[in-house]
């Protein structure tokens, strides 16, 4: 129970930080293609590295914990799932975390994405029954095989964490209090990456791998009877992430219900369907790959995430070429800029 309570607190911090920094894999690809900078993708890489930094020392001190880490086989199905999820996220205009963050901000379109996701999971079950699709195949994690180099990697990462924390503290605006930093309207990407990575790594150690997209997939399948419902703990941890995001939008008063019907809602539904199928094939979405699959050295994680990035790039390029719709993202000085001249919305060129 104590581990669950701590995990929930950390999950809320993770959700709060992700919301304040607007971290999103789709935004990261759009920033690269539109602005030619890579602040967001660097922050995503940092998130995974900070998970390594918190888990490696524990694996070294308590070696038997590595035996409980599981992964998934690298298969064509997993790569296709990553590609499909990426295309869906690109069409939707938001990845797993950004969909949740924008949903709690009041965007009805993102709620439709979640509905589309559920439809995608149901479609996967139909394809499974027809013998067209297959479930992912478990495989041992590669963590036990890397323990010889883990002390050196762990020491380097801990040093980088200390350097990063020192850099972030020294570069904060002079005269600001801790409270003002916590409730700043927007977080630096590096700050959010550090908070998310350390929180996710600790949750991983205390609770296991609570991939939020896979949890929701299991909820959908549990309701149609093809899989058991997720455990109570996974429900609560997922809910805590949403609570953290909602606390962020409530505290900075950014909640606005955007219920006016628009054609882009069809993109949200279609993108959600592809994300749902992709999650089932992988398994997991970008959240599970970045914070758990890659740090857990699952054989499928890095190649599947590369396929996911490719899928987002293909979707953004196709939307721009065929429908004259461009996703514009800009970051400056380690922060995502959301203003009238460079914001994350689909718009006519």
Q: pLDDT tens for residues 305-345?
A: 999 999 999 999 998 888 777 888 888 889 898 653 444 44
Which pLDDT value is given to residue 338? 64
Count H helices, E strands: the chain?
A: 14, 6
Which pLDDT value is given to residue 344? 40
Count CA atoms closer than 13 A to 115's CA, side-chain side: 10
How many angstroms separate the CA atoms of 205 and 287, rounded? 17
Which pLDDT value is given to residue 342? 41
Q: Is it the case that residue 254 has pLDDT exceeding 90? A: no
Q: Is it the case that residue 260 has pLDDT exceeding 90? A: no
What's the chain's average pLDDT?
A: 88
Which pLDDT value is given to residue 215? 87
**Window from 26-35, 243-252, 273-282, 336-345 with minimum mean pLDDT:** 336-345
This prediction has a pTM of: 0.91
Q: What is the pLDDT of residues 93-108, one digit of tens each?
A: 999 989 999 999 999 9
Q: Report residue 11's pLDDT band, with 50, 70 and 90 as the boundaries.
A: very high
Q: What is the pLDDT of residues 262-321, one digit of tens each?
A: 888 999 999 999 999 999 999 889 988 998 899 889 999 999 999 999 999 999 999 888
Which pLDDT value is given to residue 343? 40
Element (H, E) at 138: strand 138-140
Mean pLDDT, residues 220-237: 86
Which pLDDT value is given to residue 188? 93
| Residue 84: Cβ-neighbour burial (10 angstroms; 0-12, 13-18, 19+) | buried
Asked whether 276 and 120 are in contact (CB, 8 A), the reply is: yes
């Amino acid at each position: 129970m104590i581990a669950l309570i701590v995990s929930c607190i950390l999950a809320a911090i993770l959700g709060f930080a992700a919301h304040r920094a607007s971290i999103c894999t789709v935004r990261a690809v759009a920033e690269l293609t539109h602005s030619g900078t890579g602040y967001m993708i660097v922050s995503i890489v940092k998130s995974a590295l900070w998970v390594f930094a918190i888990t490696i020392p524990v694996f070294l001190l308590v070696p038997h914990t590595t035996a409980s880490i599981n992964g998934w086989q690298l298969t064509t199905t997993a790569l296709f799932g990553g590609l499909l999820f990426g295309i869906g996220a690109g069409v939707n205009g938001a990845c797993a975390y950004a969909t949740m963050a924008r949903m709690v901000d009041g965007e009805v379109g993102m709620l439709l994405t979640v509905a589309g996701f559920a439809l995608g999971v149901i479609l996967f079950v139909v394809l499974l029954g027809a013998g067209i699709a297959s479930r992912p195949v478990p495989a041992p994690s590669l963590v036990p095989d890397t323990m010889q180099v883990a002390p050196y990697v762990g020491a380097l990462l801990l040093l980088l964490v200390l350097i990063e924390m020192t850099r972030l503290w020294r570069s904060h605006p002079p005269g600001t209090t801790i409270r003002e930093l916590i409730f700043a309207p927007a977080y630096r990407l590096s700050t959010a990456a550090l908070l998310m990575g350390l929180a996710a790594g600790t949750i991983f150690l205390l609770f296991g791998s609570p991939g939020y997209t896979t949890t929701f997939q299991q909820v959908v399948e549990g309701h149609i009877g093809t899989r058991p419902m997720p455990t109570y703990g996974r429900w609560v941890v997922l809910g805590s992430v949403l609570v953290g995001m909602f606390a962020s939008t409530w505290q900075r008063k950014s909640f606005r219900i955007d219920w006016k019907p628009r054609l882009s809602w069809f993109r949200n539904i279609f993108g959600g369907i592809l994300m749902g199928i992709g999650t089932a094939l992988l398994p997991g979405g970008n959240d599970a790959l970045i914070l758990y699959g890659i740090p857990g050295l699952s054989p499928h994680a890095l190649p599947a995430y590369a396929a996911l990035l490719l899928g987002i790039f293909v979707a953004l390029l196709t939307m721009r070429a065929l429908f004259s719709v461009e996703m514009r993202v800009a970051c400056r000085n380690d922060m995502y800029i959301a203003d009238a001249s460079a914001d994350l919305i689909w718009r006519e060129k």
